Chains A and B, each alone.
Chain A
Amino acid sequence: MDIQDIIKPENKVYSSPRLLNDSTMHYCPGCSHGVVHKLVAEVIDEMGLEHNAIGIAPVGCAVFAYKYIDVDWIEAAHGRAPALATAAKRLNPDRLVFTYQGDGDFAAIGTAESIHAANRGENIAIIFINNGIYGMTGGQMAPTTLEGMKTATTPYGRNVELNGYPLDITKLLAQLDGTCYVTRQSVHKPAAVRQAKKAIRRAFENSVNRRGCSVVEILGTCSSGWKMTPHQSNLWMEEHMKEKYPVGDLKNIEE
């Protein structure tokens, strides 16, 4: 069978998400953000929420998320996305309101906003990308940086006596009464991508149906910060990150 006989619209099984626009994403080659952006765009489209969604972008590598996914966006100050989302959702209760945040934004500078928005049970979905490093500013230590992990500000590896312990904020948020769905996923393999998409969908459904606060942590990689190839980064993530941050649902309260 000729290739041209296969490449026909009716045979298409995968294409770039409709809501992901043509702008070239600024991310480094192999960056997990791109995959998660695709999933967010796909889920919004599949749920028919293109004209009923407000995204809150963070400060960090994903600061320009609003340039790539064609829905309404508000760009927050560093760490404050859950506060913005709180007001956006309370004032517009029928919308999907979601934040998209990295580990520095969500688990360091924004810890107070993250915990209190979750604890109040704000009907928002939080997409939290944990790659254990500050990518945007050049690879410094994040709250989630693993013990012994080398970064620009822990050049000899994270020393817990000096730098404290890696923060598993997702585990902490699962303890709070305001969260209805807390899960940790990854996007390093096709099967993991499919799982992560289901998690994002559940979180978005929870926001629309006002079931409480959903947190979807996604273990990401940062090949530039980790100083590895994208493939090596995936292997390293699988071997090291998952030990401290095991993948799976931490909390899932059904309707």
Chain B
Amino acid sequence: MPKPKGAVIIDTERCKGCDLCVVACPTDCLELQKKEVNNRGYRFAHVIAPENCIGCASCALVCPDACIEVFKVMI
């Protein structure tokens, strides 16, 4: 049976580090930066486990700042 495989691109400069995408992700792909901040001082979200991403777009749906693009293929 084909399985979904996904990837996300995060606009880290637009990100305000609210953490909602991290919470929404069902496969624990995302995390907020621990130290690094963007130009506006936010600890932005980034992908820590790209291999887990299933392209479900949950992160993007709940993102209030429209920072996340989602791609998905079936393999």
Binding site for B on A (CB under 8 A): 1, 3, 5-8, 11-17, 20, 24-25, 27-35, 38, 187-190, 193-194, 223, 229-231, 234
Contacts and interface: CB of A to CB of B under 8 A. Distances in A.
Interface of B: 5-7, 9, 11, 14, 16-20, 23-24, 42, 50, 55-58, 60-73, 75
Given A13-B57, A190-B24, A230-B18, A31 B64 contact: yes
8 contacts: A3-B7, A3-B50, A8-B71, A15-B70, A16-B69, A27-B64, A189-B62, A190-B24
Contacts of B75: 1
Which of B23, B55, B57, B66 lies at the interface centre, i.e. has the most chain A CB atoms within 10 A of its CB? Answer: B66
A38 B60 CA distance: 10
A29 B62 contact: no
Contacts of B18: 29-30, 223, 230
A231 B23 contact: yes
Which of A13, A20, A24, A32 lies at the interface centre, i.e. has the most chain B CB atoms within 10 A of its CB? Answer: A13
- Main SS of the interface on chain A? mixed
A6 B5 contact: yes
A30 B64 contact: yes
Contact of A33 (B58, B64, B69, B71): B64
Contact of B65 (A25, A231, A234): A25
A11 B72 contact: yes
Given A29-B18, A30-B20, A231-B20, A13 B62 contact: no
